[in-house]
Amino acid sequence: MTLYKFCWYADWLILLIALFFFFSGMSTATPGSGFMKTWAVLLLVLFAIPIGSYLLHANGFTGFATFIAAFPAGAGLLYLLFMVVVLVSGARWN
């Protein structure tokens, strides 16, 4: 699998996780206007990154598409590493 495809699939996974937290927040809380504005911008950006990188890749700009898709994928990988350390270390974080 190429680096582009790995980053592209990771971006979609990050978007699905964000959608899960959005809908769980909608079902448990009464959302205010600030809540909706923040989530709308966040979901729009998270949706635009894989779509934009796909369009760039389809038009022959694979290097730039990989560059665009790598930012959220890199952040997601760092967060995954952090969560693994938290779960494996057994340390108390409170």
Cα–Cα nearest to 87, from 79, 16, 73, 11 = 79
User: Does the residue 84 lie in any domain?
Assistant: yes
Residue 76: inside a domain, yes or no? yes
Asked, for residue 32, whether it belongs to a domain, the answer is yes
The confidence score (pLDDT) of residue 48 equals 93
Q: What is the pTM of this model?
A: 0.80
pLDDT per position as a tens digit, 39-87: 889 899 999 999 999 999 999 898 899 999 999 888 888 988 998 988 8
Under 8 Å between Cβ of 73 and 11: yes
Where in the sequence is the domain holding 51, given as residue range(s)? Answer: 3-89
Look at residue 94 and tell me if it is in a domain.
no
Q: Is 13 inside any structural domain?
A: yes
pLDDT at 30: 66
Tally the domains of the chain.
1
